[in-house]
Structures are given as C-alpha cells and as structure tokens.
Amino acid sequence: MSERIPVIPKEKFAFVNEGARMHDKVFDDKPISYFKDAWLRFRKNRASVIATVIIVMIILYAFLMPLMNTRYDSRFMDPYYAKKAPRSLVLRPLGIFDGGQDRAFSEKGLIRAVAVGVGAENWDGRGVTVEEGLESYYQPMLKISDPVEKRAGKNITRNYTGRVDVFLEVGFLYQSIMQSEYAKIRAWEEETGLHVLYPLVEDNSYNTDASDANNWYKMKKNTPVSTAGGGKAKELSYEPGLILEDNYKRDADGNLIYYEYTGGGSLETAQYRVRVLYYNYYRYRNGFEPNYIFGTDSQGYDLSLRMAGGIQLSLLVAVCVSVINFILGAMYGAVEGYYGGWVDMSLERLSDILAGIPFIIVATLFQIHLAAKVGPVPSLLFAYVVTGWIGTAARVRTQFYRFKNQEYVMAARTLGARDRRIIWKHIFPNSLGTIITSSALVIPGVINSESMLSYLGIVKLGSAQATSLGTLLADASSIWTNYPHLMIFPAIVLSLLMICFNLFGNGLRDAFNPSLRGVEE
C-alpha cells in the first residue's frame, strides 16, 4: 500500500517578487552585428586607435592645407627664397618658426649681415647707425652673441655667433623692369609707406662686386673702409654706433639715382635697371609677406603644399592598389582554395611565374615604355597590379582551405546551396578579417615602394603640378645637413604613414577575427 503524499494548501504559497518583471540576464542583451562587434573590439586597441587618429590628421592636412591657403597654390614658386627655413608670422614673435638659422660670423661677415637692415633704413642716404639698423623691421640678425677674441701674434680677431632670418638676409637685388612697372612701384610706395626702390651703387674701387646689390657701403677687399663724416680710411670694428658710409650713385647736384635706362624704344617699354629691397618687392608683387610654415624646398616652392601634394599622391596610389588587389586577389584565391585539384595547381603555377618577376624591373619598364603615353602615375598603377594581388590571393586561398571542410559548409552543401553561395556567404565572411588586414597592410608597402622609386628617380614625380615624398627626400639628400627642414618634415610624415598604417592593419586583423567574436579583453 503506497503512502499518501501530503497536499500543501495553496494558502501556504506566496510570491517572493510579486509584481516584479522576471527575465534571464543571459538573454537580456540585443544581438550585435558582425561589424559592430568588430568596431567594439577595435576601440579597445589603443595603439590602433591612436594610429587611426594620426592617419586621419595627415589626410586632413593633405586635403585641407591647399584649400586653406587661398593666396597661392602648389605651383607658386620664388627662386630667391629657395631652401629657406620655416617661417610663420604668427609664431615668429615667440621665437619659433622665425625663419632663422644659427651661424658663426667673422667681424666683417657680421657687419655685412647687419648692413642689410642698416641699408633698408638708409633709403635716402642720410646715414644710419648700426644701432638704428638693428631696430629695423628688415634687420636679418635676430640674435648676436658676445664676441670671442682670438690672438694670432699681434693680430686680434673677433668672432661672433648669431641667428639670422634667411628671408631678410636676401637683402637687396638688381632687377630689370619696364618704365610702366617703375611708375606702379612708386605709386605703391606712396600708398603703403613702404620702400621698394633704393639708390643704385657706384661701380668703383670701393665696390668689390658690382653684381651684388648688398655692397651698398664703401668696401675695399671686403673690409669696410670709412665712416660717414670722412676722415682717414681705416678698418672698422663692429660697434652699435658705427655709421657705414654709403657708396650710392649721385648726379652732378648730389641727388640720389634710383634707376638707369638700359634700353627700349618708348616710354612704356623702356627698360630700367633698379635696386630693390627684395622683401618689400615680394610684398609688392604678391600682396603678402613671406610666410612658409614648413619653409621652402630646393626650388622655392612652399614645402607645406608640396608635402600635401605628395601625401595625396601616395595615398591615391596606395588606396587604388589596395582596392584592386583586394578584388583580384579575393576572386583568384577563392577559386583556388574552394575547387582545389587541377584548378588550384594551374592557377598556382601562373601565380608562381608572375611572382618571380622582380617588381622594380616591371616598374622600370613601364616607366620607360608606358609613362610617356599614359603618364607616370597610371603606369605605376599598372606595375603594381601585375603582381600586387598575388599575396592577397595566397592568403585567401589558405583561408578557403581552412574553412571549406568545416561542418557548417558541409551542411550548406547538403542542403543544396550552390558553390557561389557557399563561397561568398559562408566561407568568405570568415576570411574577411585576414583579407581586410592584408589589404590594409598593402597601403604602407605601396607608400614605401612608391617613395623608394621616386627617390631613386625611376618614377619622375617632380613637376610643378605634383610631387612625391620620395622626390622631396631625393632633392634634400645632398643638402640636408645645411637645410635640415627639407629632410625632416617629409621623413616624419612618411614614417608616420608607415607606422600608423601597420598599427591600423593590426587592429583590423584582431577586430575582424571571428574566433575573438564576443570575447572580452
């Protein structure tokens, strides 16, 4: 006889959380899409995020710098201001980007440098002291150290170190202009109160180089020989109260001569030889002062705009090559890996043949025979496309061999899915992380090889319309010790692009790795 099971009255039961909403925490979260999950994991990689920010900043610089500079474009060039140091009118009062270079001066060399500012103030021949010239806006000497005296027997020499503004150091130049231009300059001087035209200099024994417009004071064998007020000629020492005696041309009445006729048949076409303060002559012609935040290159172009153009070109080539390689490599590798057998064997042999051709030979041949017809950039793209997709195809092939025999692929095949659907819907998404990573890592490789080819001169990208970072580095390779900014700025940008794109690619690899999906790090 079985025992009777006691029955508990329902009055004995009570709800613990009556009125509360019950749910399972495990299923509380909404499903996350593949790309959102990848983005969440990418954000956790700090190095990749920082690299991405730097890449975005470089891209913004490359495309916004030409738009922000409304005064001139990348073709603007001034040969007298070639290889000049960085100069910013905004930052100059702070002592940075002041267009300055540190140099050592002999006493005669210092007087010559200071004389540019003195001569700029002595436009009317009244006589200006060195102390007054040092206060001039056109004084190139930014800083002068105390002298260091050296004794050699009875002779005592004084040497100085100082910092000179290389734009103002150009000083005075002789120019040949038409009479109509001379009249326009005079009108501009009256309107602005600035002086462009300065008295001509006598070609006599006191002028050691008649072609140098900066030899405006009396010299003999490169030594200042007299002061205003006359007296016995003597060697001069650098002193703030020194007054250099000018060697200006004057007519019979003692009036200063500012031009001389050199040819031309009419009043409008008459050619005048004049002596100009080039800093103000630049302002007269262009309407603004020299302001080059990264300095100028070896030809006189604005280095910041040339770098922006070089970055644009490198990114354009790299992204185009990456996209083309992604498409060709993905299709080629998918067919190899999925079908295998004789298909894989035949396509692999073709890949081996193409891979055995050195890229530099392909690029050189294309530049020799194709660049003249389609241009250097398209021919460079063709050279990359010939063999560039092989690496991507090999990675895709490996991934397909890895996944094509998985259970979910076999299940799809059993259910009657076609090969095309299995390839692009089931296997390819699982290979996407590797493919995207390889495509992203193609970009720094292309930038590096493109810069190398242009650096070696195989690819000619040094025109007025476009240039390359490699071309800028090549131009600076023989003179960078004297003009370090020509090498430093392009090298920094190129290095950042290489490092940041590699870090960015590593971040993409981890973000799109299916095995890490849903894993908390």
pLDDT tens sequence across 305-333: 999 999 999 999 999 988 888 888 888 98
Which residue ranges make up each domain of the chain? 46-67+301-516, 85-286
- Mean of the per-residue pLDDT values of the chain: 85
Phi-psi region of 73 (alpha: psi -120 to 50; beta: other; left: phi over 0): beta
160 phi and psi, to 5 degrees?
-130, 160
Closest CA to 495 of 66, 45, 55, 84: 55
Q: Average pLDDT of 494-514?
A: 84
Q: Average pLDDT of 151-166?
A: 83
Q: Average pLDDT of 458-474?
A: 83
How far apart (Å, rounded) are the C-alpha atoms in residues 408 and 420?
A: 15
Is the confidence at residue 6, as pLDDT, over 80? no
pTM of the model: 0.82
pLDDT at 445: 87
pLDDT at 192: 94
Looking at the DSSP assignment, which residues form a beta bridge with residue 102? 163
For residue 177, give every residue at least 6 positions away whose Cβ sits within 8 Å of its Cβ, in sequence order, or none.
185, 271, 272, 274
For residue 312, give every residue at least 6 positions away whose Cβ sits within 8 Å of its Cβ, in sequence order, or none.
62, 63
Is the confidence at residue 516, as pLDDT, over 60? no
For residue 72, give every residue at least 6 positions away whose Cβ sits within 8 Å of its Cβ, in sequence order, or none.
286, 302
Q: Average pLDDT of 67-74?
A: 88
pLDDT at 521: 47
Task: List the CATH code of the domain at 46-67+301-516.
Answer: 1.10.3720.10
In contact, 201 and 296? CB cutoff 8 Å: no
93 DSSP assignment: G
pLDDT in tens, 213-245: 999 988 776 566 655 555 555 567 788 778 888
Split at pLDDT 50, 70, 90, the class of 459 is: confident
* Dihedral sign computed on CA atoms, order 224, 227, 233, 238: negative
pLDDT at 55: 94
